Structure formats: structure tokens, C-alpha cells
């Protein structure tokens, strides 16, 4: 099997490995309690972020602009993740 796009393959594998962390932790601890919806939301966030970063890497030519956009994208991911986990902004989507 020839992989045409190694970065895309890396994005999918990275998202899967990151999702394995809570899945394995759930086997050893009652403190980690993810539902199927949590895995779906996390997967969409991780894959979406990876694919948007890949799009930026392909379309934006200037290195400085690429770096700045990727930093903004990752910052947005982390803020959304934190809001869903503990509710740092107090929206109705907060997890706590």
C-alpha cells in the first residue's frame, strides 16, 4: 500500500493514539469516565484541527503566516477543549 499523503496519515494516527489514552485510563481508574459522545466530540475536534492545520500548511505560502495561523488554530482547540472539560467561560456546553 502506497501512502500518498504521509501528513494526513500522521494526523489520523495521532488522533487515534490520543483517543486511546482516555480509553486505556478508563480500564484502570473510575476517575476517567468518558462516554461514546465524548470520544466522538474529541475525535472531531482532533481530526478537524489536524485537517485545518494541513489545509493552512498547503495553502499559505509565507512561513511566518503559516506558523501564526497554526498557533491560533491550536489555541482555539485548547480553549474549546478546556471549556468542554471544566467550563472556563461558563457556557452551557461546560462539562462541569
10-45 confidence digits (pLDDT tens): 999 999 999 999 999 999 999 989 999 999 999 999
- Residue 92 inside a domain? The answer is no
Total domains in the chain come to: 1
The Cα 38–Cα 28 span in angstroms is 18
pLDDT of residue 76: 95
Please give the model's pTM, rounded to 2 decimal places: 0.85
- Residue 93 inside a domain? The answer is no
pLDDT of residue 26: 94
For residue 19, the enclosing domain spans 6-86
- Residue 91 inside a domain? The answer is no
CA angle (20 as vertex; 48, 40 as ends), nearest 5: 40
The Cα 32–Cα 80 span in angstroms is 19
Amino acid at each position: 500500500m502506497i501512502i500518498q499523503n504521509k501528513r494526513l496519515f500522521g494526523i489520523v494516527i495521532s488522533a487515534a493514539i490520543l483517543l486511546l489514552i482516555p480509553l486505556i485510563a478508563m480500564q484502570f481508574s473510575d476517575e476517567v469516565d468518558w462516554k461514546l459522545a465524548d470520544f466522538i466530540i474529541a475525535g472531531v475536534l482532533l481530526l478537524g484541527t489536524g485537517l485545518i492545520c494541513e489545509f493552512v500548511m498547503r495553502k499559505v505560502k509565507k512561513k511566518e503566516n503559516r506558523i501564526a495561523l497554526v498557533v491560533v488554530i491550536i489555541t482555539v482547540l485548547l480553549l474549546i477543549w478546556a471549556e468542554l472539560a471544566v467550563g472556563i467561560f461558563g457556557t452551557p456546553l461546560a462539562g462541569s
